[in-house]
Structure 1
Amino acid sequence: MKFLKVALVVTVILVNWVFAQPSWADKPNFTKNPDYIEVTKTIKKLQENTQGTVSEDVQSQIDELQFQKAAIESGMTWGQCRNQTGKTIAIYGPVPEESNSKYDNQLYFLANDQTTPDGWDCQGVYLPKDVKVASLDNTGAVAVKVMDGTQLSVKKNPDTSELELNQPSAKVINPDESKWFIPNVSQAFVDSRIPSTFATGEND
């Protein structure tokens, strides 16, 4: 009888080991991640375009991109946005499953002093046509991409009233080359929106 119990336990363990997903399973293949592909190509392009001595600015860009690449390699598949502007900001996030949108993402609204929750993929920040950003030469509405594994903070400079991003080399999305909805509206219009409610765990 004792032998049968032991045999049963061993059988259950073996079956579980063969059919169940092991806890040490490989992380998602980051080499297929669009952000990873883009970062890798940009690093290669910068390195190929430098002949001899690399300027300090270019080396700084390469270092930042390699840091972003390492963050994606860690298995992080979502970005995060933080609003410190004193106003509501518009951000880009996942398209709901029931949506028939032709765009790759959807606009949401993040209240002042709020951060998108862990696991919710903030893909970018929308900057209205009448908002000046210190690190960008924007003359109209633009969208800034948030790489996976990165937190993009947007805050207002109290002296200049300009917005500042914590990523000096932030990627600006070209509406002609992407499926991002980039409307030409004012900050006052964004302020009139009710902040969104974010469900956690959607992108874990």
Structure 2
Amino acid sequence: MNKVLNKGILIEELATEASRSLGEKVRLENLINGKCFNETDMHVVIYGPNNKNDGFHNSLYVLKSRSATPSDFDCDGVYIPQGFRAKFPGGTILDGPFAAKYDDLKRIQVSSYEGIPGYPTYTILTAPNAIFKPEKSGCNDSDKVCWAIPSTFNELQTYGPADAPTAPLE
């Protein structure tokens, strides 16, 4: 038995429309959130939602090998630690430490890891929107980015990145 509200709208129709609207909201959020893919056999440090209330705009996370972030996790970038390199589209190779920042809607794909002695290198198939070195980390200056960008591996460990939630690689 269908119940009718004012002006002849069926309750079932209203529920269906509300469900459709919620589904559309989730779909749009998933489009806006950047997604990270780690196709390597190594862990990758990424930037995601702030989980520490430490004043930074985001937090560091460890994305395990052969995994991806879920659709509802907003991946903002990749951190390349001291002693590592990243190779980007066009052949550009940069030495860490640095943060590679990506705008919303970006699919960030780390496709390989080359363990060249003395030069461990990640290949990142997505060009970043910006690169920030540790000296550009700070939340009080307009010419700095409010991200934690550790300058040494010990500093990275002190910061204590959390494990990123993961989803299967697509």
TM-score, L = length of structure 2:
0.63
Matches within 5 A, 1:19-168: 23=20, 76-96=31-51, 99-135=52-88, 136-158=92-114, 162-167=121-126
Counterpart Cα distance in 2 of 1:185 and 1:154: 21
Amino-acid identity (%): 22
Output one character per residue of 1:49-90: Cα deviation in whole Å (capped at 9) or x when no partner.
Answer: xxxxxxxxxxxxxxxxxxxxxxxx998210111112321111
- Aligned partners of 1:110 and 1:195 also within 8 Å: no
- Cα offset, 1:159, TM superposition: 8.1
More strand by share: 2
More helix by share: 1
Letter in 1 for 2:70: P
Q: Any idea what SS the aligned residue of 1:173 has?
A: strand
Q: Any idea what SS the aligned residue of 2:4 has?
A: helix
* Shift in alpha-carbon separation, 1:93–1:15, aligned structure 2, 3 A: same
TM-score, L = length of structure 1:
0.54
The structure with the largest alpha-carbon Rg is: 1
Letter in 1 for 2:38: N
Structure 2 unmatched runs, 5+:
138-143
Aligned residues: 142
**RMSD of aligned residue pairs (Cα, Å):** 3.7
Counterpart Cα distance in 1 of 2:34 and 2:87: 22
